[in-house]
Amino acid sequence: MEPNVKIIAGGLILFVLGGLSVYLISRPNAATQMQTPPQVQSEYAPATTSTPVSTDTESTTAESFYEAANARREQQLIDKAEADRLAKLKAIKERSVECKFWKQQQKTSSAAAKIDEKINEHCNLPSVSSASTSSAASDATSTSAPSSNPASAE
């Protein structure tokens, strides 16, 4: 065989062996086979002199601790998801055409109070966090509809 063919064959064999080893390591039941038997675990466990009644109390305390920890974790996930959602909504509003238009108007016009109000309306989220995106969208539609009607009437 030529040296190039040997190199390719060796690389192919190493690739297959690597894939096989990754498969064997990542199998779902591979983790359960690697656990130590219960008698070995008891050798390393700290010696306790408590009665079985206190063990029940400790397990109840541990269970309540885990429940509280899970509740905190779930609340943190919910809070993070809500913060991400609000950040995305704010970014969408800031990138909207209406926001860009009113920011440009602010640079070129002298009616600052009315323009600031429009920028606040089109670029910022409503101050009430319970307001849904549908109500914000309907507010934007209702404010843009009257402004388009007088323009068409003129």
Intervals of the chain under pLDDT 50: 31, 50-53, 129-154
* Strand residues in the chain grouped as ranges (E): none
What is the pLDDT at residue 83?
94
What is the pLDDT at residue 34?
53
- Backbone Cα Rg of the chain: 32
| pTM higher than the cut 0.85 | no
User: CA-based angle 128:131:132, to the nearest 5?
Assistant: 150
C-beta separation of 119 from 102 below 8 A? yes
- Average pLDDT taken over every residue of the chain: 73
What is the pLDDT at residue 151?
42
CA distance 4 to 7: 5
Give 54-99 pLDDT, tens digit per residue: 556 777 888 899 999 999 999 999 999 999 999 999 999 888 888 8
Place of tokens 């109840």: 60
